[in-house]
Every structure is written in structure tokens, then in C-alpha cells.
Amino acid sequence: MGPTTYHRKNAFTLVEVMMAATIIVIGFIGMIEVIGLISNSIKHGQRETVASQIINNEMAKLRLASWTTISGLSPIATNVAIDPQFWPVWNSTMSYVANNVVTYNGAWYRCTSANTGTVPTNTSYWTTTTTGATSDIVEIGGATFSLSRSLTSPDPVTNIREVIFTVTWVVATSRTKDDGSQLTFTYRRSNVGWFGKYGLNLTYQRS
């Protein structure tokens, strides 16, 4: 009989396995961060679209308004109620506080008492309404929206009014500041409209 031949089997060492596992974990963390960034970008784009729609709706109202209405607007910057058509649909899992507004089965409701999961038809917590109010809390896509309007009269002789609508939305995060308060981010979008007594209206986006 000839001598016995032993064949060495190749295998990963413990160090190699640990290094491979570390690389995989780092890769997964990177993928999660990328997914988070993409998700936030999509949400931000959706909120910007809502802001533009809110402003365009107000500009359209003024185009249909009489010159008496336009020239009578206060020059002082003021909050404006967001049109109920932009109110969010009631969500059974969301917690609401007083002045939160929603739509439900084709009707508009304003919260009168804090609740979670209580249908808007329950008059102990909600009240029906047909118009918006400046005190409304309009939460859309995880952000709270508000609308303001300012007006100037750059050339009264030629009967022109400059109207500026600004939508502000605040996004609350799960992080906290150094003082322990919740970290939020505030965004704005403004459109400027020029309205003449005899027509020739013009609007453009400022920011």
C-alpha cells in the first residue's frame, strides 16, 4: 500500500467571517439611509405640490373677484383660512386636538375636543362646518400648513395691486433639540400676483 494522502479543505477563518458580516451590515445601513432620504424627498415634493395648489386656488379666486373686492383688501399681512377642499381625510389611527380639521364622507368637520379614532359624526368631539378659519390646524402628509396674504399698492394711479400669498408648513421630527424641545423644520412657498382694475392679471412664483 502506498502512503496515505491527506487533502486540506479550504474554509473561511473566523476573522474573515466577521469582516464579511461587518461589510454586509454597513451595506444594509447605507441602503436604509438611502431609502429614508428617497422617502423624505418624495414627501417634501408632495408637500410642495400641496402648497402650490393652495396658493393657485387663492389666486384663481382673486382673478374672479371684483376690483372693489381686490382694492379693498387690507395692506396689513394677515393669516388666511385654507380652503376646506384641501383638508385631509379623517384617519382613524391619528390623534386629533381642538381645531384640527378633516373631511369625512363628503362633509367638513372641525375638532372640538381631543380624541383618537372618534368618527367626525360624533358631536361630542366634532362639529360640522362649511368654511375654513384662520385658527384651523391643517395637517397634510405629516406637516402642518398655514396660509398668509399681504398686499401693496405700488401704483395707485394706474389701479394696480400686488398680492402675495405665502404657504408655510412645519414638519415635526422624532428628534429633540439641546433644550429638550421637539426638532421641527419650517418651509415656505410664495406666489406674487399683480391685479389691475381693467384686467391684465399676472402671477409668478417667488420662492
Asked whether the predicted pLDDT for residue 95 surpasses 60, the reply is: yes
pTM of the model: 0.77
Asked whether the predicted pLDDT for residue 7 surpasses 60, the reply is: no
Classify each residue of 163-188 as buried b or exposed e, where b means 16 or more C-beta atoms within 10 Å of its C-beta.
bbbbbbbebeeeeeeeeeeeeeeebe
The identity of residue 165, as a single letter, is: F
Domain ranges of the chain: 14-83+138-205, 85-131
Are the beta carbons of 184 and 172 closer than 8 angstroms? Answer: yes
pLDDT tens-place string over residues 35-90: 666 777 788 889 999 999 999 999 999 989 998 898 888 888 999 999 999 999 99
Are the beta carbons of 203 and 192 closer than 8 angstroms? Answer: yes
Q: Show the beta-strand stretches assigned E in 85-142.
A: 95-96, 101-104, 107-111, 115-116, 126-129, 138-140
Q: Which residues pair with 160 in a beta bridge?
A: 155, 196
Q: With residue 199 as reference, give the H or E element that holds it.
A: strand 199-205
Comparison of pLDDT for 141 and 32, the residue scoring more: 141
pLDDT tens-place string over residues 96-118: 999 999 999 999 999 999 999 99
pLDDT for the residue numbered 13: 75
- Residue 13 CA to residue 20 CA, distance in Å, equals 11
Tell me which of 16-25, 105-114, 117-126 is least confident. 16-25
- Residue 106 CA to residue 82 CA, distance in Å, equals 17
The x, y and z cell numbers of residue 8, run together, are 486540506
According to CATH, what is the number of the domain 85-131?
2.10.10.20
Residue partners of 136: CB distance under 8 A and separation at least 6: 81, 82, 99, 100, 101, 110
- Residue 104 CA to residue 93 CA, distance in Å, equals 14
- Residue 78 CA to residue 151 CA, distance in Å, equals 9
- Residue 57 CA to residue 77 CA, distance in Å, equals 19
Quote the mean pLDDT of the chain.
86
